[in-house]
Amino acid sequence: MGSPGLGTGNSGQRLGITEPISLGGPTEYDVIKTRELEKYLQNVGLYESQEEAVSREEVLGRLDQIVKNWVKAISRAKGLNEQLVQEANAKIFTFGSYRLGVHGPGADIDTLCVGPRHATREEDFFGELHKMLSEMPEVSELHPVPDAHVPIMKFKFKGVSIDLLYAKLSLWVIPEDLDISQDSILQNTDDQTVRSLNGCRVTDQILRLVPNIQNFRTTLRCMRFWAKRRGVYSNVAGFLGGINWALLVARICQLYPNALPNMLVSRFFRVYTQWRWPNPVMLCAIKEGSLGLQVWDPRKNPKDRYHLMPIITPAYPSMNSSYNVSSSTLRIMTDEFQRGSEICEAMEANKADWDALFEAYAFFEAYKNYLQIDISAENDDDLRNWKGWVESRLRQLTLKIERHTYNMLQCHPHPGDFQDNSRPFHCSYFMGLQRKLGVPVNEGEQFDIRLTVEEFKHSVNTYTLWKPGMEIRVSHVKRRSIPSFVFPGGVRPSRPSKATWDSRRASDAKVSGHAGSDKPGEVKGAADGQVDGKKRKRADDSADTQLKNSKYITAVPSSSAEVQAGSPGGTVSPCSLKGDNVDATGLVEPTRGKDESNMTNGSKTSSTDELSSLNSEVDGSLRCIPPHTGLHVTADASSSKEAEKLAIEQIMSGPYVSHQAFPEEPEELEDDLEFRNRVVSVGNTNNGPLQAPVSDAAGAAPIISSNGAGPSISLHASGSIEELEPAELTAMTSIPVAPVVQKKPLIRLNFTSLGKASEKSG
């Protein structure tokens, strides 16, 4: 059991695809602040006790013995001779946070069982091994997921949560000293085995590619905790998961090999605030390999050009570990990086502390409008299966809303779920909604997302293991009506304290925002405050500078930038979704100006003349400075932010290019085109409101909408009727509508027809 042993550091060699930014060692200030950080992380309970550590080791040893007995049993059952039965072996490896050494109390242990060629995944792993585990009294909550992208068996062993994968190698006998880091281990294996092995291979490679493992671990613990506190830790929700954060931190460790965690945290925010996505983050050069497996390369693979925030795994075959990131979640993470950078600078001036950095994000105070997704089932097992499926599809809802509104409606998915104790076998998910910041509000225009939601629910209800009682309901809920069960203790908190970093920052922005609020095209704040016009101007200037300097450009169809006002006929009653740039705490959300209308996936559209003016254009593609050009910055020069900024610019120069042709639609959305075309046709809809089926799997009552003349009325599943304020209707906004494209009908967006959730109904 285990993985190849590694030392505490690799400082004797240069690591990474570029030279470090700084070789400077720690100052006395760094030593003091690092001690403070380590104490802080201990005090918040991020380290397990010695007793728990010993318990985990015992569980892993027991699991290793179980799989060895299992493989001998199936070898004997398959008729192998006694010698082969005695030689038959299987081995347990660990990966993820446990292998990296950054797991906390109660965390899952990611494990991999490696077996011989005659031990099949379907019959033997999910059959015989599953049966063996189910008969053991130490095992509970056994949950196999054989049809997952990476097939997995989840269970608890003596209370320790285990996620177990399986890899069937082409070997007849698995040696006890097997080294799975060798590429030859992948020969003659199926795709599921390659993906299952990838976790272990990537984890071990990360530990080999950082200069100091202990500093890496402390920094990674810090960033994982920060990401969870700020609500950006979740791969399935479109943010980043454990492996993504590990890769980002490892790259910073390479760039500052002699820095302590205090400086590494500060430079993490500084570097990734300046990073121009979709420039990829890589720990080492991508190897083509000799096995013919596909590796990430946007020059060759059209689908790779869709990735907005590429974070590339270092083990062959190299993949983008962050393909789930959407334009909305990338924007949210970029804003959080900026906030982190500001706090770290304030800490250096003794104007902030670690508490400010780790301040929890007030998700349910940040927006005025939310989508609430309720799911339910008949029992615990059904709910667990249904939850896993729905969670895997929630990203589709974000993508659909972004695409169907041409990114005018932005989504912020909450990374977790909430349970109402008064409703068994039920849970809820939430998404914050706001119109795109910096876009003028046109009176009388509105959003209508009925068809988008119906399309999403249709895709969810295609679940092959669906059972009666598995239901889903999507509703629009305003901030004041957020159900109380989402708050700690079921009690809605009072307004945020003025003592927090975010509220102080927002208060300053609110005061300064009055001066710039009259500029044309700006969205004025409502009761919660005004937009800081100066911040927007700085954001616009920064965007211009980044775009002019960009070496990695993705061209988009001109129609995405040249949108026209109007809507495809019909009148629907809106509910309020105002163009507020200030959240309930007064916090100004970073804005983007006119250049954003010409941007897709973080890149600006360029004319042929503009593209040809860039350096090294060859055959319609943009070639960049090779990654191994020197950029060594001395310790003295690194103290200058300008020097660091220049070094970061050079780091982002790489061989990966984005071709001018825009690829086809992402694969995860292609399967919904047929349904969308069947549901709605937007030919002549001038004779009345645009109608859409509004019944949902939860059996909600029909939703009635007025024609816009007066308050909008909606009938809930509970039978209650809520009247929207007429004032809200006039403040509603709409997306510009692009020219009609065959097979892609235009969809207006409106929240009214989505049942409104109340605290009472959840």
Asked if residue 371 belongs to a domain, the reply is yes
Looking at residue 407, its pLDDT comes to: 85
DSSP string of 692-720, one letter each residue: -----TT-PPP-----SSS--EEE-TTS-
pLDDT in tens, 21-51: 999 999 999 999 999 999 999 999 999 999 9
SS3 242: helix
Of residues 382 and 670, more confidently modeled = 382
pLDDT at 648 over 60: yes
pLDDT, average across residues 477-490: 92
pLDDT at 389 over 50: yes
Looking at residue 707, its pLDDT comes to: 34
Q: Determine phi and psi for 374, rounding to 5 degrees.
A: -105, 135
| C-beta neighbour count of 433 within 10 angstroms | 22
Which pLDDT band holds residue 8 (cuts at 50, 70, 90)?
Answer: low
pLDDT at 358 over 70: yes
Looking at residue 455, its pLDDT comes to: 94
Same domain, residue pair 105 and 195: yes
Looking at residue 145, its pLDDT comes to: 86
CA-to-CA dists, residue 309 to 277, 312, 519, 591, angstroms: 6, 10, 33, 19
Q: For residue 150, what is the DSSP state? A: S
Looking at residue 724, its pLDDT comes to: 26
Same domain, residue pair 304 and 437: no
Same domain, residue pair 217 and 334: yes
Give the total number of structural domains in the chain. Answer: 3
Q: Which of 201, 236, 255 is the last residue of a domain?
A: 201
Q: Token pair for residue 555? A: 């061209």
CA-to-CA dists, residue 23 to 33, 210, 341, angstroms: 19, 14, 21
Looking at residue 187, its pLDDT comes to: 93
Most confidently modeled of 16-20, 37-41, 623-627, 735-739?
37-41
Asked if residue 61 belongs to a domain, the reply is yes
d(CA 172, CA 118): 7
Looking at residue 760, its pLDDT comes to: 40
Of residues 417 and 586, more confidently modeled = 417
Same domain, residue pair 400 and 387: yes
Same domain, residue pair 349 and 409: no
d(CA 380, CA 72): 34
Identify the bridge partners of residue 144 per DSSP, sorted by sequence position.
153
pLDDT at 204 over 50: yes
pLDDT at 98 over 80: yes
Asked if residue 639 belongs to a domain, the reply is no
CATH code of the domain containing 105: 3.30.460.10
Same domain, residue pair 352 and 261: yes
What percent of the chain shows pLDDT beyond 90? 55
CA 463 to chain centre: 23
H or E segment to which residue 91 belongs:
strand 91-95
Looking at residue 593, its pLDDT comes to: 37
Q: Which of 490, 508, 540 is the last residue of a domain?
A: 490
Looking at residue 490, its pLDDT comes to: 86
Same domain, residue pair 279 and 319: yes
Same domain, residue pair 447 and 399: yes
Mean pLDDT, the chain, integer? 74
Q: CB–CB of 40/354 below 8 Å?
A: yes
Q: Which of 300, 328, 361 is the last residue of a domain?
A: 361
Looking at residue 748, its pLDDT comes to: 41
pLDDT in tens, 108-139: 999 999 999 999 999 999 999 999 999 999 99
DSSP string of 721-760, one letter each residue: EEEPPHHHHHT-----BPPPBTTB----B-STTSPBP-TT
Identify the bridge partners of residue 157 per DSSP, sorted by sequence position.
139, 160
Same domain, residue pair 468 and 389: yes
d(CA 426, CA 418): 9
Of residues 496 and 22, more confidently modeled = 22
Looking at residue 385, its pLDDT comes to: 87
pLDDT in tens, 497-542: 556 777 666 666 655 554 443 333 332 333 333 333 344 344 444 4
Asked if residue 632 belongs to a domain, the reply is no
CATH code of the domain containing 31: 1.10.1410.10
d(CA 621, CA 625): 13
Q: DSSP alpha helices (H): ranges in 236-326?
A: 242-255, 261-274
CATH code of the domain containing 431: 3.30.70.590
Of residues 109 and 392, more confidently modeled = 109
Asked if residue 742 belongs to a domain, the reply is no
Asked if residue 683 belongs to a domain, the reply is no
d(CA 390, CA 376): 11
Lowest mean pLDDT among 395-409, 490-504, 598-612, 633-647: 598-612
User: By C-alpha distance, which of 1, 321, 4, 312 is closest to 180?
Assistant: 4
Domain that holds residue 124: 49-201
pLDDT at 337 over 90: yes
Same domain, residue pair 267 and 377: no
pLDDT at 664 over 70: no
Same domain, residue pair 389 and 458: yes
SS3 13: coil
Which pLDDT band holds residue 360 (cuts at 50, 70, 90)?
Answer: very high
| C-beta neighbour count of 715 within 10 angstroms | 17
Looking at residue 377, its pLDDT comes to: 96
Same domain, residue pair 357 and 368: no
Q: For residue 531, what is the DSSP state? A: -
d(CA 260, CA 559): 49
Identify the bridge partners of residue 349 per DSSP, sorted by sequence position.
none
pLDDT, average across residues 250-259: 97
Asked if residue 264 belongs to a domain, the reply is yes
Lowest mean pLDDT among 145-149, 152-156, 221-225: 145-149
pLDDT at 363 over 70: yes
d(CA 142, CA 66): 15
Asked if residue 382 belongs to a domain, the reply is yes
Which pLDDT band holds residue 381 (cuts at 50, 70, 90)?
Answer: confident
Looking at residue 686, its pLDDT comes to: 38
Looking at residue 477, its pLDDT comes to: 95
pLDDT in tens, 285-325: 999 888 889 999 999 999 999 999 999 999 999 999 999 99
Residues 6 or more apart in contact with residue 722 via CB below 8 angstroms: 713, 714, 716, 756, 758
Lowest mean pLDDT among 432-441, 456-465, 613-622, 736-745: 613-622
Q: In what order do the strands lie in the sheet with 471-478?
A: 409-413, 426-435, 369-376, 471-478
